[in-house]
Structure 1
Amino acid sequence: MTTSMHVNVMKRRRLVSGMMTCLLLGACTHYTFEFEDKKQQATTYAVNATSPSDGKPVVYQVFTRLFGNTQTANIPWGTASQNGVGKFKDFTPKALTEIKKLGVTHMWYTGVLHHAMVSHNRLTEMQSDDPDVVKGRAGSPYAIKDYYNVNPDLALNPQQRLNEFSQLITRTHQAGMKVIIDIVPNHVARNYHSTSPPDGVTNFGEGDNVAVEYARDNNFYYVTGKAFSVPKSDNYQPLGGQPHHLSNGQFAEFPAKWTGNGARAAQPSINDWYETVKVNYGVKPDGSYDFPRLPANFADKGISEHYAFWQQQNLPNSWYKFREIVYFWLDKGVDGFRYDMAEMVPVEFWSFLNSSIKTKNSHAFLLAEVYNPSLYLPYIHQGKMDYLYDKVGFYDSLKALMQQTGSAKQVMSAHRSVQDIAPHMLHFLENHDEQRIASPEFAGDARMGKPAMVVSHLISQSPSMLYFGQTVGEDGSENAGFGQPSRTSIFDYIGVPAHQAWMNHGAFDGGLLSQEQRSLRTFYETLMPLNNAPAVANGQLTELELLNASDSAKQRIIAFTREHSQQQLLVVSNFDAKQSHTVTLKLPKSWHSHSGVTVTDLLHTRANHQIDASGLITLTLAPRESVVYQKEK
């Protein structure tokens, strides 16, 4: 893992190795993944899976605590009363209807589960968590302290918080969307303790033999005979140095547990995931497995075979604990899960868990954060994941192109490298881990997201994801406390200005947006519902060569067609931030006609256009401009 405190502070997740031994040893290093450009000429291929006939998924990720907050003080390290906090109730039918206009099929409510946080809690059975083992004041949503309840900050009545979340699930379903929440199997908060477990459910670690470093059915790993010590840092103070009765550089834990990223020291580094402890799935400290392996041919087996295989096995206790957790939330009406740092957990566990989920709900949506390309196929086929992040490759190359340092060729090469699993690779431009497009550290201009979103959304059957505030140009510039600006903070109480302008004090009508922000929102509302277009949901991709184009144009322009028996689309995007480009394209034979072909722009920015009989079209695109032409019958 990186030794940069900033990267680890921002929830520790850049690229990590998928080797379990490396992860357990806590000695992982960055890797690079290069794509071979196998063919520069126009390439046509068909994908190997089909999307639902009614379109491909569009996920809307929202940081639940921030969504409805209307306060604007934005005091660094501010409390909930100073800086405000959103509630479940803020997702009104009107708000959900407006989100649905973006073609959204799934709402990913981030930060719902009860995680460690520093606050004056209104619940008598809970006290503030210790700032020495909490990141930020509001706390990391990936340091879960109770898997059987939700964050009390999000409820009007904390005693009824689970009921209030159930009501939000119902409203979301009524708006025509499904509900996703996070599951974090690799680690839990250092102070994990459920206050409301179902009958028969015990807390993680409750039955562990703490006299040994490892036992198969222990939930944690232990540094035997040593007490945990809070990490030291010359550059960081909990709560920015503000006083708190528990902030004393101490946290009682004996014996010390291994830290979430696999660090084994009783006193982890400030760059380790010190606020969390690693969950044991039966992987021994030497990296060998203490559970049955999947038979070699199970990559080709279906859910029923995977499920049946695991029913015959005696498995580590942690496996069953997480199955109880996902069953609990499925019974509450949750429709799927986003798995945090899935590659740090053995693929066999995913086969067990996901086949259990799919047996209970065959339509469950399963999205995994996996950054190691060598693990893509195992986690899809053996692990039975529906979708993986397409970050290493597609997102990274798109970001470089948006920053004017990469090339169109690199983007297409990255996409081509996963063409066989494209329907499983989720595309995004922003999420809670990544910099905002409008931030100076990324592109400095939200409009650079326009050509990128056109390509990202329309290039394949891959599901697409939007992050709240992206559609109105949020720049993430707020200094919330923990971490640094450019990413909207997930650790502290803060207002999100551009999003608040769209929210307009709960009217959700964009009433406070600038004209430029309104235009950006309109663009997304026009583009994103194309997930229902037949050519986008199920079409064939043909990459197009630019004819008589300058070297600069070839670096900055991406062009392709998507074709289906019911629809044919031509997509061209100019990623140049400053320069217009004129290009000529030779379209596939299916676009040729003796009388020429008329096309209409689905983005509603251009008049009808005529393609000549030989299938040639010449276009001039302004900086950041895209066209999405539909061939008329």
Structure 2
Amino acid sequence: MNEKNKIIIYQVFTRLFGNNNNHCSYNGDIGVNGCGKMADFTAKALGEIKKLGTTHIWYTGIIEHATQTDYRRYNIQPDHPAIVKGKAGSPYAIKDYYDIDPDIATDVPGRMREFENLVQRTHRAGLQVIIDFVPNHVARQYRSDVQPDGTTDLGANDDPSQPFSPYNNFYYIPQSELHGLFDMKGSAAEPYREFPAKATGNNRFDATPNINDWYETVKLNYGVDYQNGGTCHFSPTPDTWFKMLDILLFWASKKIDGFRCDMAEMVPVEFWEWVIPQVKAVYPHVLFIAEVYNPGEYRNYLFRGKFDYLYDKVGLYDTLRNVICGNESATMISRCWQNLNGIEKRMLNFLENHDEQRIASDFFAGDPRKAIPGLIISACMNTNPMMIYFGQEFGEMGMDSEGFSGRDGRTTIFDYWSVDTIRRWRNGGKFDGKMLSEEYKRIYEVYKKVLTLCNEEHAITEGVFFDLMYANQNGWKFNEHKQYVFLRKYKNELLLIAVNFDHQLVDVAINIPSHAFDFLQIPQSDAYKATDLLSGLQETITLLPYKATDLSIGAHSGKILKVSLAQPEKEVNEAGH
């Protein structure tokens, strides 16, 4: 892939994508509700995903995790139902770091070969492959049944009499049995037993996790003694570090192109500083994306930890969500990039993912169109990556009550289920759109237009960014709380991008300050021909420091006006140059 391409990630929950069942039952098992497979990502399906403007596909839930489905006939040890969330289980309760989840295989014994074929198909479609790396915690009954020669299973050599030892892979609560404040029996005849209890994944160092904890997981030990002031024991190198390096190299050898690292900030930055350069020494192209929520740690994980990109959740996502819902002013969007102090090109923007509520759900905006201004900003504001979550491009509502995942505005990651808009779009693998409503199609066309523009327009892929909001406070025809406007420029191409979060069409007058003309070297003119890249319509606009630029912007919409600055000399002279 061209280094200058803008990364557009399509996150897809692998086991839901291909499930055609349109009458799934609440809490249904795999026999009742069915399950999508890796084979559902056909060349046709991948080609359609690519058409959206996608450059990378993040297959979520690839590595084997705890489940209530019985795969004993394939020599896969069953999990106690009390420590599995949902019938299908959480993809973040890893049961075997070296294996593919059997649910998503058509031929369970050949599941690794199926994954290798999926990677090849994805590459042939011109897409790159990202998978999860879950470094902080594993399923309570973790055990690899395909542990590679020369490697040792997690916990195999632990001394469980020690609450903490740098030589242990887990943390223990000696002399204590796990007594979770959750149902310890589930659907099993006998309750789950764990003695001595292990610390729980969300840093719970006692034997009584509750229903709100990550009770189905255990915390991995990277050499930090959390119970004694967080003292670090990194020399000699902790055993867990070596095991994780082996796991990363194993998956990188499968020709994947990136890891999305779950809860990366719960793992010491010293580990990342040690491991990422070693992986990149062998596989230099592999991307590392960190899920980090503490802005105070951003620089640490980027510059010391060597990550390529970080989630922009607590900055841009939270702000755009609030603006979309009418709870915050659009002026706060400027604060987001200003607070990043120069690292904005290293942030991954998104409006949906598997953790967040669907835009169209009753818990977020209730209408996918309301997020279109936010989509334009997220995708076009800078050169950094953009991610969407499968179904977002159709306005998926996520309002099902699937089982363990209640009616919460999210698409379940715990249950066997089917995603309505994706099922309609796929239409049995035909992808002909015949089952999609006109509303779904309209939303899709906007997403496709915006995301494809990201790599068609040099001004978005490579250009500089100039925020115009500071010159448009208290404007007589500009509501800075409901509109946002900025410039992107590359060589002689200028984009004026203006969005409207309001529910009605607005006529705005945009001030472009002298500094913008000087900084971006824009020739002044009162008669620039501009094309709106979203609608294809042309209009004539003014670009002058002493006269506002007049535009009309539809409700919950935006304009990306492209201007060629190589204008006829007469026009430029008339403007006073």
State if a TM-score over 0.5 links the two structures: yes
Which deviations, in whole Å up to 9, do the C-alpha atoms of 1:219-255 show, x marking residues without a partner? 001111122224336xx995xxxxx3x264x212221
Q: Which residue of 2 aligns with 1:187?
A: 137
**Structure 1 residues 630 and 53, CA gap change in structure 2 (3 angstroms):** farther
User: Is residue 135 from structure 1 mapped to residue 57 from structure 2 by the alignment?
Assistant: no
One of 486, 500, 513 as aligned partner of 2:423: 500
One of 238, 254, 275 as aligned partner of 2:195: 254
One of 518, 524, 540 as aligned partner of 1:609: 540
Q: 2-side partners of 1:613 and 1:321: how far apart?
A: 61
Q: Which residue of 2 aligns with 1:286?
A: 228
One of 512, 528, 551 as aligned partner of 1:619: 551
Deviation at 1:616, TM superposition (A): 3.7
User: Is residue 583 from structure 1 mapped to residue 505 from structure 2 by the alignment?
Assistant: no
User: Is residue 277 from structure 1 mapped to residue 218 from structure 2 by the alignment?
Assistant: yes
Q: 1-side partners of 2:555 and 2:391: how far apart?
A: 23
SS at match of 2:9: strand
Q: Which residue of 1 aligns with 2:561?
A: 629
SS at match of 1:367: strand
Q: Which residue of 1 aligns with 2:464?
A: 540
Q: 1-side partners of 2:476 and 2:417: how far apart?
A: 46
> Does structure 1 conserve the Cα–Cα contact (< 8 Å) formed by 2:185 and 2:192?
no
Q: 2-side partners of 1:566 and 1:54: how far apart?
A: 18
Q: 1-side partners of 2:228 and 2:432: how far apart?
A: 56
User: Is residue 510 from structure 1 mapped to residue 441 from structure 2 by the alignment?
Assistant: no
> Does structure 2 conserve the Cα–Cα contact (< 8 Å) formed by 1:230 and 1:251?
no
User: Is residue 570 from structure 1 mapped to residue 496 from structure 2 by the alignment?
Assistant: yes
Report the AA paired with residue 488 of structure 1: T
Q: 2-side partners of 1:546 and 1:99: how far apart?
A: 38
SS at match of 2:74: coil
Report the AA paired with residue 504 of structure 1: N
SS at match of 1:420: coil
Q: Which residue of 2 aligns with 1:87?
A: 37
Q: 2-side partners of 1:414 and 1:247: how far apart?
A: 53
Which deviations, in whole Å up to 9, do the C-alpha atoms of 1:461-502 show, x marking residues without a partner? 221001000000100011111132200000000111011111
Q: Which residue of 2 aligns with 1:229?
A: 179
Q: How does 1:190-339 map to 2 (within 5 A)?
A: 190-232=140-182, 238=186, 244=187, 246=188, 248=190, 250-284=191-225, 285-292=227-234, 314-339=236-261
One of 429, 434, 444 as aligned partner of 2:366: 444
Q: Which residue of 1 aligns with 2:384?
A: 462
Q: Which residue of 2 aligns with 1:172?
A: 122
> Does structure 1 conserve the Cα–Cα contact (< 8 Å) formed by 2:137 and 2:217?
yes
Q: 2-side partners of 1:376 and 1:482: how far apart?
A: 33
Name whichever of 500-509 and 154-163 sits farther off.
Answer: 500-509
Q: Which residue of 2 aligns with 1:427?
A: 349
Q: Which residue of 2 aligns with 1:23?
A: none
Deviation at 1:76, TM superposition (A): 1.1
| Displacement over 6 Å in runs of 4+ | none
SS at match of 2:387: strand
Which deviations, in whole Å up to 9, do the C-alpha atoms of 1:349-391 show, x marking residues without a partner? 0111111121111111110000000000000000001010101
One of 530, 535, 553 as aligned partner of 2:479: 553
Q: Which residue of 1 aligns with 2:105?
A: 155
Q: Which residue of 2 aligns with 1:302?
A: none
**Structure 1 residues 573 and 336, CA gap change in structure 2 (3 angstroms):** same
Deviation at 1:82, TM superposition (A): 1.2
Deviation at 1:542, TM superposition (A): 1.3
Q: 1-side partners of 2:73 and 2:454: how far apart?
A: 43
Deviation at 1:207, TM superposition (A): 0.4
Q: 2-side partners of 1:93 and 1:152: how far apart?
A: 22
**Structure 1 residues 594 and 367, CA gap change in structure 2 (3 angstroms):** closer
Q: How does 1:96-115 map to 2 (within 5 A)?
A: 96-115=46-65
Report the AA paired with residue 273 of structure 1: W
> Does structure 2 conserve the Cα–Cα contact (< 8 Å) formed by 1:130 and 1:247?
no
User: Is residue 72 from structure 1 mapped to residue 30 from structure 2 by the alignment?
Assistant: no
> Does structure 2 conserve the Cα–Cα contact (< 8 Å) formed by 1:547 and 1:585?
no
Q: 2-side partners of 1:435 and 1:352: how far apart?
A: 35
Deviation at 1:547, TM superposition (A): 7.5
**Structure 1 residues 594 and 110, CA gap change in structure 2 (3 angstroms):** closer
Deviation at 1:205, TM superposition (A): 0.3
Q: Which residue of 2 aligns with 1:350?
A: 272
SS at match of 2:538: coil
Q: 2-side partners of 1:110 and 1:435: how far apart?
A: 17
Which deviations, in whole Å up to 9, do the C-alpha atoms of 1:496-529 show, x marking residues without a partner? 1011111111112322111111111111111102
Deviation at 1:145, TM superposition (A): 0.4
Deviation at 1:592, TM superposition (A): 3.9
User: Is residue 145 from structure 1 mapped to residue 67 from structure 2 by the alignment?
Assistant: no
Q: 2-side partners of 1:385 and 1:612: how far apart?
A: 40
> Does structure 1 conserve the Cα–Cα contact (< 8 Å) formed by 2:477 and 2:509?
no
Q: 2-side partners of 1:537 and 1:247: how far apart?
A: 58
Alignment coverage as a number of residue pairs? 553
Deviation at 1:593, TM superposition (A): 3.4
Name whichever of 501-510 and 119-128 sits farther off.
Answer: 119-128
**Structure 1 residues 287 and 52, CA gap change in structure 2 (3 angstroms):** farther
RMSD in angstroms over aligned alpha carbons?
1.9
**Structure 1 residues 623 and 321, CA gap change in structure 2 (3 angstroms):** same
> Does structure 1 conserve the Cα–Cα contact (< 8 Å) formed by 2:66 and 2:139?
yes
One of 59, 66, 89 as aligned partner of 2:9: 59
Q: 2-side partners of 1:563 and 1:580: how far apart?
A: 27
User: Is residue 600 from structure 1 mapped to residue 550 from structure 2 by the alignment?
Assistant: no
Q: 2-side partners of 1:87 and 1:484: how far apart?
A: 24
Q: Which residue of 1 aligns with 2:410?
A: 487
Deviation at 1:193, TM superposition (A): 0.5
> Does structure 1 conserve the Cα–Cα contact (< 8 Å) formed by 2:224 and 2:231?
yes
Q: Which residue of 1 aligns with 2:569?
A: none
> Does structure 1 conserve the Cα–Cα contact (< 8 Å) formed by 2:527 and 2:541?
yes
Report the AA paired with residue 327 of structure 1: L
User: Is residue 363 from structure 1 mapped to residue 285 from structure 2 by the alignment?
Assistant: yes
Report the AA paired with residue 531 of structure 1: C
> Does structure 2 conserve the Cα–Cα contact (< 8 Å) formed by 1:553 and 1:581?
no
Report the AA paired with residue 378 of structure 2: S
SS at match of 2:201: coil
Deviation at 1:552, TM superposition (A): 7.7
> Does structure 2 conserve the Cα–Cα contact (< 8 Å) formed by 1:133 and 1:274?
yes
